[in-house]
Structure 1
Amino acid sequence: MPQMAPMLWFYLYFFFLFTFIIFVSLNYFFKPFEKINFKISFSHITPQFFWKL
């Protein structure tokens, strides 16, 4: 039925908006992991230099 095609796009549009809002809100509230500061936590260990390729 061709008359149902606008309803399909309508539902897809709202599905996209809903998932986009969920994605943005989760990224806003969940912070990324903090990096470990090796200078403070491992100050008693001598630094090892990484090999250059």
Structure 2
Amino acid sequence: MPQMAPMSWVTLFLFFSFMLLMINMMNYYSFTPKFKLSDSKKTITKKINNWMW
């Protein structure tokens, strides 16, 4: 069985790298997060813990 030429390996590597990038970009841009903003919690509450050593 003949071995694969190195140029063919480079072509396969570039093809699969391109496909990986395209699939990741499509997944990233097709996801739309749904943020639920409540009107009752407009202020940010901060809890401060003072530790006495």
Per the alignment, residue 49 of structure 2 pairs with 51
Unaligned runs of 5+ in 1: 41-46
- RMSD across aligned positions (CA): 3.1
**Identity across matched positions, percent:** 17
Count of aligned pairs: 46
TM value normalised by structure 1: 0.59
| Letter aligned with residue 47 of structure 2 | F
Per the alignment, residue 7 of structure 1 pairs with 8
TM value normalised by structure 2: 0.59
Which runs of at least 4 in structure 1 moved beyond 6 Å after TM superposition? none
Q: Distance in 2 between matches of 1:9 and 1:52?
A: 60
Unaligned runs of 5+ in 2: none
